Homo-oligomer: A and B are copies of this chain.
């Protein structure tokens, strides 16, 4: 990208370099922060952990409510946040809703931290 500088190191003040690097843009930052915000709640981390440990068919809400000691609406709320963040996907089978990890989503989130 932009290489800039190199000619004049400093003029009067030299607290630090005059910046202008290809740092994370405001848009990219907000994008990554949206995913990380979904991951920044302990109960949501536990939800992901339970879903990940579950079988490939997905976990239903009834199995996710008890171990978290939270009300059913609260669990539904957290699941929606995780789905909106692209971390979980929902599939309805009969009366029940099954949640499963979106393949590669956690890896992407993980990589976005290293790519800061």
Contacts and interface: CB of A to CB of B under 8 A. Distances in A.
A24 B39 CA distance: 13
Interface in A89-116: 96, 106-107, 109-111, 113-114, 116
Interface of A: 15-17, 19, 21-24, 26, 29-30, 32-33, 36-37, 39-43, 45-46, 48-50, 52-55, 59-60, 62-63, 66-67, 96, 106-107, 109-111, 113-114, 116
Q: How many copies does the complex hold?
A: 2
Nearest to A39: B36
B113 A59 contact: no
Q: Of A24, A48, A55, which is in contact with the most chain B CB atoms at under 10 Å from its CB? A: A24
Contact of A40 (B23, B37, B114): B37
Given A37-B40, A40-B40, A110-B110, A16 B50 contact: no
